[in-house]
Amino acid sequence: MSTSQNGAQTGLQSGITLPADHPLATADPNRSTAASPLITAYRGSTPSRTPVWFMRQAGRSLPEYRELRQGIGMLESCLQPELASEITLQPVRRHDVDAAIFFSDIVVPLRLAGVDVDIVPGTGPVLGSAVRTAADVAALPELTEESLEPIREAVRLTVAELGSTPLVGFAGAPFTVAAYMVEGGPSRDHLGPRTMMHADPQTWDALARWAADAAGKFLRAQLEAGASAGQLFDSWAGSLSLSDYQRYVQPHSTRALSYVSDLVGRDGQSVPLVHFGTGTSEILPLMRDAGASVMGVDYRLPLGEAHRRLGATPGPDGRGAVPLQGNIDPALLSAPWEVLEAHVREVVEAGRVAPGHVVNLGHGVPPSTDPQVLTRVVELIHSIRP
């Protein structure tokens, strides 16, 4: 049985300590991330400075990224370790953010497993053929440990350059990945997967389990190789009703996160796990109960209200409020500075109600964003006392 399979079955009971040279396990102060502002806030304590990073900070908003990517496809960029590492590092150098986010895409595990998928410019992920029947699911190839080596190598290269700045690992949540697979590409309303849940629940369950296992293995490879935290990203979960999420999706997100819930650092504390989705205000407690230690909040819900909803509804394990991540409105990055500054200050102040707060956007960095604005936002956040 592989460590990934073991993690999925045993979860927190294993308590596997990360390797001695891991940033959360090392005693080297120049490489340890355990006391970094990001990890401190993720664990519910007061950091030395208010931590901030941005989803999609590595990408099209940076001219150095566009220059580096010329003539190279998106998935090819993700699977070349040196290139993926360099792209991951670019915004850390430019913006002085408190974390790097691993440069990848939610369909990278599919490509590594051997699924026919590509990212079409202007469209997004497109599969060679949709996955809509029990036979289609049964024919899906398994994501092997060997196929994940380019990911581990990219993480190792990145962590070697980051020093005491943490790397956040990344994986697409089972529902979002399975939704792409059922539709064969992007969709506005995700009718295909939502129909399959009810019309053919056994096939849906098998597909979502496949996606959960792929996400869990993908995330574990990053964490074992040196990432200091992990984020499960559910782009489309906001399209679901509360009951559909609880019945058809939450168990699979739990399975994905269970692959990494047994990993602990040198201090015996678990690796922080963030769960984020867009349009998920009504299902935040269920997303937390899937196994997250930090909840990402999109721009639609004030942080104070997110804290109230989470704190007032303890999960099965008795937990209530958790540290929060978010939630600057990306649209305001192009607003006049005085408008953006006031909004950023409101977000930082609102986050004080939570046990810990990492400032981020309420979604990803728009490609049209002026990089100088992001740098200025980081400087502003760092000037505000935690």
Nearest CA among 226, 230, 234, 197 for reference residue 216: 230
Residue of 42, 180, 248, 299 marked catalytic: 180
Length of the chain (residues):
386
Answer whether 185's CB lies under 8 Å from 119's CB.
no
| Beta-ladder partners of 253 | none
Q: Tell me how far CA of residue 349 lies from CA of 163, 326, 332, 352, in angstroms.
A: 30, 12, 17, 6
Nearest CA among 357, 308, 381, 380 for reference residue 47: 357
- Alpha-carbon span 138 to 147, nearest angstrom: 20
HSE, side-chain direction, 13 A CA sphere, residue 7: 30
Residue 260 sits at the vertex; the CA angle it makes with 104 and 237, to the nearest 5 degrees, is 60
Q: Is 69 a catalytic residue?
A: yes
Residue of 43, 56, 132, 220 marked catalytic: 56
Q: What is the DSSP letter of 247?
A: I
Residue of 31, 49, 60, 319 marked catalytic: 60
Q: Is 105 a catalytic residue?
A: yes
Q: Tell me how far CA of residue 12 lies from CA of 179, 263, 317, 322, in angstroms.
A: 29, 8, 13, 18
Residue of 31, 49, 69, 156 marked catalytic: 69
The two tokens of residue 80 are 């070349």
Q: Is 98 a catalytic residue?
A: no
Q: Is 21 a catalytic residue?
A: no
Nearest CA among 204, 282, 292 for reference residue 243: 282
DSSP codes, 112-154? HHT--EEEETTTEEEESS---SHHHHHTPPP--TGGGHHHHHH
Residue of 98, 105, 289, 329 marked catalytic: 105
Other beta carbons within 10 angstroms of residue 188's beta carbon come to 7
Catalytic residues: 56, 60, 69, 105, 180
